[in-house]
Amino acid sequence: MRHFAELINALETTNKTNAKIDAIIDYLERAPDEDKVWFIALFTGKRPKRNVNTNYMKEWALEITQLPYWLFQESYSSVGDLGETLSLILPPPQEKIERTLSEWMHDIAGLKGKSDAEKKDFVLRTWNGLDYTERLIFNKLIGGSFRIGVSDKTLINALTKFSGQESSALMHSLMGKWLPEEVSFKELIDAENVNPDNSKPYPFCLAYPLEKETEELGNPDEWLVEYKWDGIRGQIIRRNDEVFIWSRGEELVTEQFPEIAEAVQAMKGSFVIDGEILAVKDGKVLNFNELQKRLNRKTLTKKMLSEIPIEVFVYDLLELEDHDLREKPISARRALLEELLLNQNPERMSISKSLDFEKWEELNVLRENSRDINSEGLMLKQKNSPYHSGRKKGDWWKWKINPLTIDAVLIYAQKGSGRRSAYYTDYTFAVKNGESLVTIAKAYSGLTDKEIMEVSRFVTKNAIEKFGPVRTVKAELVFEIAFEGIGFSNRHKSGVALRFPRIVRWRKDKTVDEIDDLEEIKKLIQ
């Protein structure tokens, strides 16, 4: 655990990618293989389930420290993270526990089914044997909240540099279904005997935002252009009569889309298709908010299946009859895809339309009007491009429409975590609703460090109420909020939900009287 704590500390104290990679390699050179497997598991989102109620952990810490509850709440409000707060208020350890990361993970998993008294005894003994950083990591692991600011690309680059393996092979190896208790580090790194089941997906090919004028891309005849749909990117896999659907977030979502699984099951052969899962009714793509109602539900009622039907707009074929097609040009892959769908004519699956154009300027109108059909813009793909693992500049571009924007006022603020724990960085914004204000969005990005410090000073001086770590502030600061889409929502007080809201700029030139009105905002919904 000590080496793992040193790694986390090194990663949290730098924003430089190369420094993060060097820290990971240093850890891999020192850690035993069992710990390396758990390191990869934790950094790829395979966190253990929470087996200890965090409210109990708070109570146990208060018993030890004898702090009054109000003082703990003030400390929690200031720090902004429960695991970190507990680590800070606990007294210094009276002994030193030296255990490997894999041993800790085994013990944490073993708490399932234990009594509350047994869990308390384990947690208190652990707290008494770990220093601050180790306690913090332990608290996050046992509380199920372990997250680290390292991208998949940085992790893969570090593993590539450490092992000498191809990055595509490593990425392929780490995706899919594997458990840290059942696989060795060598198997993961060598990409052997990993994902032997039929469900193994491929790393997704990703696009860069278009950074140049379309005319700079060359001959229009060399490009395939289609709409960029706002749904769930997915790989639909059919191998040995089994069907699996993977999201781009590496989640197995087959059960969430039973109608797609049923349609693919009725097909013949073996294949892996890349496409966009969308809510489509009467031939019209529905707003993303409708699709969102279907996500992460334990049960899907007949009513929901009927009211929010699902289709897949497919645009690539990665594998056919056990042959990897990714090195073939997309023009060839698409021809095979069209043949596959034409021969079998599956339900709920159709080819994403290829847009006809002769000159680049013809795409401007199509792009500008794409929001009318609930599209985000256009995808531009070089016809000779292979299916890369991850991003490669030059082959695939996403040309999104400009975001929608509104002016809203800050009414709630909360401190961030980690390096931002001293500043108010999490904001809730409101718009007019008649004579009152109604919350419409939360946003966490878009301001400079200098602006964050300035907003924090305002919140400190102008806080009206406290609700745990949240502060209600005077409705004075106006910001321009950008978002990709908007839809009706019963879960939000305003009745609408914004897609990917973020701060564009601080409108110091505007007052709260000039913010947008909810009824006008609703008119943006298609």
Positions annotated as catalytic residues are: 228
At 382, the amino acid letter reads: Q
What residue has token string 């609700």? 467
The three-point CA angle 66-67-71 to 5° equals 170
Place of tokens 């209600």: 472
Q: Let me know: does 395 contact 380? Beta carbons within 8 Å.
A: no
Q: What is the distance between the alpha carbons of residues 284 and 309, in angstroms, rounded to a whole number?
A: 11
Could you identify the residue written with the tokens 């990993």? Answer: 194
Beta strands in 102-162 (DSSP E): none
- The DSSP string of 439-493 is EEEEE--S--HHHHHHHHHHHHHHEEEEETTEEEE-TT-EEEEEESEEEE-TTST
d(CA 255, CA 305): 13
- Which tokens hold the place of 409? 């006022």
- H or E segment and range at residue 16: none
In which residue are the tokens 């946003």 written?
443
Q: How far is CA 416 from CA 75, 293, 372, 420, 503, in A?
A: 14, 29, 37, 5, 16
Q: 310 near 280, Cβ under 8 Å? A: yes
